[in-house]
Amino acid sequence: MKVTINDVAKYAGVSIKTVSRVTNNEPSVKQATVDKVNEAIKVLNYQPNLAARNLAGTKSYAIGFIYDNPNAYYIIDMQNGILSACKDKGYELVIHPCNAKSDTICDELTQLVKYSRLAGLVLTPPLSEDPKVLKSLNEIDANYVRIIAGEGIIEPDGLTILVNDKSGAVEITQHLIDLGHKNIAFLSGDLHHESTKERLLGYKQALTKNHLILNENYIIEGKYSFESGVEGANTLIKLKNRPTAIVACNDEIAAGALFAARLAGLDIPGDLSIVGFEDSPFSRQTWPKLTTVHQPNSEIAQVATELLIAKRREQDAKFAKTFTPEPVIRDSSASPKH
């Protein structure tokens, strides 16, 4: 027969309500009691029915992951990080892809919170950066944590995970400059993402710091896709004074640029160095393997979810944390031929 909460309570010698408080990770239970209940759960192999708990209780135990991002690797990393925190804290995960540019996005998200009875939302760019979305969620007192690109942009009452993309872009561009490159191009992602703006700003900052002239022809606007990398690289390769190095806004773009360059007969990194951003599997699946910037997306998502759950339980917790991506040097960057 299936083990019930009544069985756990009887074995541990506590009330059903106490078992419920322990399985919900509520902070007000004495550690000795928590240990007794957890021992009973382990011995009896009790599996709480989280879905039934959501329906029966006054509290919700589901976290929503809201995203509009075409990069499957990014989405998987974020899901894994959120799931890790949810499993540890006794929550479920609701995944909700959406179109951030939709005219009805605000209504869509407020309805989701109301009818799915979500305990909170993990918002990723560009939704986490949209004032209209945030205003709508605030109007219904929704709990959410924002993952955004930037540094020092902390709201006093909000949960925020900052990813210092600019610093990562400065360092990866500096890596190319240190190798001797002076003609360095930039392949952009979608400009409605703050991460794109921050990475472009870091690229420009590194050039300025090293007294290198910014060539506007070297900055190609695009999207976060392999195809965009191919198109952007083809444009750069055809320039009379083509660059000797490319900073791509993510690894998918960089992989597309590498593909286009090799089709054009260029040696990588001999004729053209190419670096990416994020350290996704794309960076390790190309040949040569991509020099890139490591961004710990799973850890970012896990920490974001832990902050969200801690705030909901009114536990003491830091309401902001900053992650700084760091360069990973591989085989796609080298000194230019003289």
For 218-261, write each residue's pLDDT tens digit. 999 999 999 999 999 999 999 999 999 999 999 999 999 999 99
Distance CA 99, CA 128 (A): 13
Distance CA 304, CA 14 (A): 33
Query: Model confidence at 55, in pLDDT bands (50, 70, 90)?
Result: very low
Distance CA 209, CA 20 (A): 58
* Cβ count near 244 (within 10 Å): 20
Question: Which comes out higher in pLDDT, residue 212 or 9?
Answer: 212
At residue 28, does pLDDT exceed 90? Answer: no
At residue 83, does pLDDT exceed 90? Answer: yes
Residues 266-310 pLDDT 10s: 999 999 999 999 998 888 888 999 999 999 999 999 999 998 888
At residue 90, does pLDDT exceed 80? Answer: yes
Peptide bond into 288 cis (omega under 30): yes
**What is the model's pLDDT at position 27?**
62
Do residues 207 and 219 make contact, with C-beta atoms less than 8 angstroms apart? Answer: no
Distance CA 142, CA 98 (A): 18
At residue 54, does pLDDT exceed 50? Answer: no
At residue 51, does pLDDT exceed 80? Answer: no
Tokens found for residue 321: 């944390």
Do residues 270 and 337 make contact, with C-beta atoms less than 8 angstroms apart? Answer: yes
Mean pLDDT of the chain: 87
**What is the model's pLDDT at position 59?**
60
